[in-house]
A and B are shown apart, each in its own frame.
Chain A
Amino acid sequence: MASPREYKNRIIPNWCPGCGDYGIQNAISAICAKKGWAFEDIALISGIGCSSRIGGYQYCYGAHTTHGRSLPFAQGIKCANKDMHMIVCSGDGDSYAIGLGHMIHAMKRNMDITYLVFDNQVYGLTKGQTSPASSKGFVTKTTPDGNPETPLNVLGMAIASGCTFVAQTFAIDGKQMMDIIEKAVDHRGFSYVNIFTPCVSFNKFNTVDWYQSHLKKVEDLHPNYNPADMGAAFHLLAETDSLVTGVIYEEKGVAAFDQITPAGDRRLVDHVEKPSPELFEDLVSEFR
């Protein structure tokens, strides 16, 4: 059995010291180790951003794609090889700005993919512009007078989009984060976790202290919370202004995409082959 360390490669991340993304990397590595997955059976796919650099840091098949398009790429892989363990990592800009259309449709499509958004509420890689997740009033290079817009209600949007697993956690709370990522990975269908992660260089507003004083755990607020209750989930988000961590919503038993495609149980990657003469004849007969 490989240790969590072995699921990281030897490339030294170019993240700033103190960046929350290190913690998320540790949690992902720990879950991979806990699951005992073979390195070659994991595909870690990311977009573009500081967060998305992780696509090049894990010891597995990693693909660091284009800005906002990690989900379409990952869904293609899953369709080709349903046995791959799929982890997609993205940032708040990557997901909620340029990639938002894909996110909603990936949720609706419900492939067996775990989607982790490293949400630092700012654009890190491009050095500090506002993001769709930035708090109202937040001063950035592109909102010098403070962000005049309200952040997107991403968790609510996910539930409304048919996402069958919606959770939120905090990169500094390793224990809860690992617990939630494991649940996400175990979920059959599309699982989505928004992970608040401090950007120490460009977000001096949503600091570790800020998160610690604002985030509430769902079990502390509602000991008998039932994540299967969609109404309760929306209520919880409204009541906390989405500053709540835990599994917000989970719908079990929804058919995952691979259960409804004609490919069925077949791993398509094993069937790159000519159609049999009988099949081909059957296909062309309508044109005779």
Chain B
Amino acid sequence: METKRDFIWKMGGQQGQGVESCGEILGRVLAQEGYSLFSQRLFASRIKGGHTTIALRISAAHRVATIGESVDCLVALDQETIDKHGEEVREGGVIIADQAFHPKWEAHTGRIFLALPITEIAKAHGSIQMKNIAALGMSAGILGFPKEPFFQFIADRFGKKGEAVVENNKHVFIEGYDTAVEAVQGSDSIGRLAAPEKSEQLYLLGNEAAALGAIAAGSRFMASYPITPASEIMEYMIKVMHKIKGTVVQTEDELSSCMMAMGAGYAGVRAFTATSGPGLSLMAESISMAAMAEIPVVIIDVMRAGPSTGMATKVEQSDIRYAIGAGHGDAEKIVLAAASIEDCFYITQEAFNLAEEYQTPVILLSDLEFGMCKQSVPAFDAERVPIRRGKLVREGLPELPKAEYFHRFADSEDGISVRTIPGVANGMFLSTGLEHNAFGKPAEGQADRVTGMEKRHRKFRTVSKAIQPFFVNEEDTDADLLIVGVTSTGGAIDEAVDMLKDTGKKINHLHLRLLSPFPEEELRPYVEGAKKVLIVEENLTAQLRELFASHFDCHEKLLSLLQYDGTPFVASTIAKKAKEVL
């Protein structure tokens, strides 16, 4: 029997048929067993009754960070799943369809098509609601996983509902399992995954990782307005708020969420908001004020396909240019980009540190693939990124002369001034979006203006030293090809690099974490050391390449690979392009 590197399992049906929970249980159980997983939900923007799929990539050997390309096992609870996704099944793969809907399958050779009694098994041993458990059993059987871990999970999950429910679910699972095993008897086309080493891992959404990062950073205040694909961040925060004893406000709009987070940041807590493109647009005026008044705030932008409402449930990396430019005037800020779902946890903490150290708005870019996909990641170390608050002073200030203010905006060599917060004795100052003097009094004189502008600009000089500005696979700066990516393309790029091993060429992968201020000095050796640089991004106008081109003169070697159809890159697309340009 063939031992495979990984499996891709997919299930489709109508929303409400338990597709999602089936994927969730399969993923959760396998993650606990130590498998490396990546899962992706796809759904229509419609709320009820729309077609929905969940896919799971399972590996015992290597960490998977994309959903991959060819399906090993497809489970169909409706005809639409077969029509839309049947072709994705690889040669030798299996399609299981519920007999109950009389599935039609245009006999394509090379795939095993099984119409099995999913609904019937559920009805016979429990109830029709347990269809997904029957399908789960079948999936586990086909993929050759042992039954026991699923029993434990079923007991935990349904224990509250009583012994009978647990037993029924178990029965349904076993029937499904055995039925599927029998149906494929004699065929070994699916293969087996070796059992992995058990390891400490978490299986979660990038949005959940970011929320946990905020908590690990000491944030206890969030103001936000729901938007796909960012809402889970607020929902998770609200869910755990009784444990962490803070406050989340669901505001009336994003104008308010940004300003409320800024008010809280000004007052000395670590405050944030999370949104997607349309919301970021509404925040622009506030971001400009935060830049002028030097107010720390963290804004997470989980990017989706634009412009405008665009495609709310599709991925894109098209807010790069806007995030860097957001806010009128010379509104400088820090723009970060999470490099992986795991990094969502760590970089969110960096974002809070930088916001306070540099007294500035920080926009942290994530994207829909991170936000709404689950991955198994190494268990988080909450102490790795310490809390750094910069020049914040809360006590012990010398007494202010009568009626005078603290010089909160005093010019300094690094451009960063000592910051106080409301409630601090002898620390009073005025905060304003108007140009101002050292204590915040509006000032329009040329000298104050120039001092203020240069001070606020100067402080950003050291940002690229305060955070690791990118991840790079090989330290060696020489390469035949440097592939550059941002946010969720990293998994596909790494796989592409893997596929290109037999070309014998030196191919490196660099993934950006700091976009603004642009880490030009740190990047230069890699850009100059590469014969060609392929910049991979999911947008039409090559926003990331434009950024490189505005800092490096070697325009002819800055190549672009773009995709803007709403789907994430797959490795083969990148590998193909790389071969073309090598």
Contact surface of A with B, Cβ cutoff 8 Å: 6, 9-11, 38-41, 43, 45, 55-56, 59-66, 68-69, 71-77, 79-81, 83-84, 101-102, 104-105, 109, 261-264, 266, 268-269, 271-275, 277, 279-280, 282-284, 287-288
Contacts and interface: CB of A to CB of B under 8 A. Distances in A.
B383 interface: yes
B428 A77 contact: no
Nearest to B405: A9
B267 A66 contact: no
Contact of B260 (A11, A62, A76, A282): A76
A287 B204 contact: yes
B259 A66 contact: yes
Chain B contact residues: over half helix, strand or loop, or mixed?
Answer: mixed
A72 B32 contact: no
B559 interface: no
A208 B243 CA distance: 55
B428 A60 contact: yes
Contacts of A280: 215-216, 382
A284 B440 CA distance: 43
A10 B401 CA distance: 13
Interface string B302-323: 0000000000000000000000
A77 B422 contact: yes
Select the residue from B219, B243, B257, B260 with max chain A CB neighbours within 10 A: B260
Contacts of B513: none
B326 interface: no
A63 B247 contact: no
Interface string B419-436: 001111111111111100
Contacts of B263: 45, 63, 72-77, 79-80
Given A268-B246, A273-B387, A40 B425 contact: yes
18 contacts: A45-B263, A61-B429, A62-B440, A75-B263, A76-B267, A77-B264, A79-B249, A101-B252, A262-B246, A269-B268, A269-B421, A271-B220, A271-B245, A274-B216, A280-B382, A283-B215, A283-B244, A288-B202
A65 B290 CA distance: 9
CB-based closest 6 A-B pairs: A76-B263, A72-B259, A80-B267, A76-B264, A73-B263, A63-B431
B428 A40 contact: yes
Contacts of B424: 40
Contacts of A39: 428
Given A56-B430, A63-B431, A66-B285, A101 B271 contact: no
B262 interface: yes
Q: Identify which of B243, B244, B271 gathers the most chain A CB atoms within 10 Å of its CB.
A: B244
A69 B245 CA distance: 27
B433 A79 contact: no
B31 to A, nearest CB: 8
A72 B260 contact: yes
Contact of B244 (A64, A109, A275): A275
Given A76-B261, A81-B422, A280-B216, 19 more contacts: A10-B403, A40-B428, A43-B422, A56-B430, A56-B432, A61-B422, A61-B431, A63-B263, A63-B266, A72-B258, A73-B259, A77-B422, A79-B221, A102-B252, A262-B242, A266-B245, A268-B221, A271-B246, A287-B204
B426 A40 contact: yes
B442 interface: yes
B289 interface: yes
B387 A263 contact: no
Given A101-B253, A102-B252, A262-B241, A272 B422 contact: no
B510 interface: no
A61 B268 CA distance: 13
Most buried by A among B247, B266, B424: B247
A284 B431 contact: no
A267 to B, nearest CB: 9
B245 A287 contact: no
Nearest to A64: B432
Interface of B: 31-32, 201-204, 208, 212, 215-216, 218-221, 223, 240-247, 249, 251-253, 255-271, 285-286, 289, 293, 379-380, 382-383, 387, 389, 403, 405, 421-434, 440-442
A109 B422 contact: no
Contacts of B441: 11, 56
Contacts, number: 212
A279 to B, nearest CB: 6
Given A84-B267, A272-B269, A287 B208 contact: yes
A84 B422 contact: yes
A269 B271 CA distance: 10
Contacts of B266: 63, 73, 76-77
A72 B282 CA distance: 14
A274 B421 CA distance: 20
B267 A77 contact: yes
Contact of A40 (B204, B241, B427): B427
A274 B245 contact: no
A279 B243 contact: yes
A282 B243 contact: yes
A269 B241 CA distance: 16
Best-buried of A9, A72, A275 by chain B (most CB within 10 Å): A72
A275 B423 contact: no
Contacts of B219: 272
Nearest to B202: A287
A6 B402 CA distance: 9
Given A9-B405, A101-B252, A288-B32, A69 B220 contact: no
A202 B241 CA distance: 49
Contacts of B389: 272
A137 B208 CA distance: 55
Q: Which of A45, A61, A68, A76 has the most CB of B within 10 A?
A: A76
Given A63-B266, A79-B221, A263-B246, A72 B256 contact: yes
A60 B425 CA distance: 10
Nearest to B263: A76
Contacts of B431: 61-65
A189 to B, nearest CB: 16
Contacts of A59: 403, 428
A71 B251 CA distance: 11
B328 to A, nearest CB: 11
B245 to A, nearest CB: 5
B270 A272 contact: yes
Contacts of B255: 68-69, 72, 101-102
B202 A65 contact: no
B262 A73 contact: yes
B245 A264 contact: yes
A277 B252 CA distance: 35
A64 B433 contact: yes
B247 A263 contact: yes
Nearest to B209: A287
A266 B244 CA distance: 11
Contacts of B212: 283-284
A74 B193 CA distance: 57
Nearest to A70: B259
B247 A273 contact: no
B185 to A, nearest CB: 35
Contacts of B251: 72, 105
Contacts of B432: 55-56, 63-64
B265 A76 contact: yes
B146 to A, nearest CB: 19
B387 A274 contact: yes
A99 to B, nearest CB: 9
Contact of A61 (B204, B271, B428): B428
A109 B250 CA distance: 10
A274 B252 contact: no
Contacts of B442: 56, 64
A102 B261 CA distance: 14
Contacts of A287: 202-204, 208
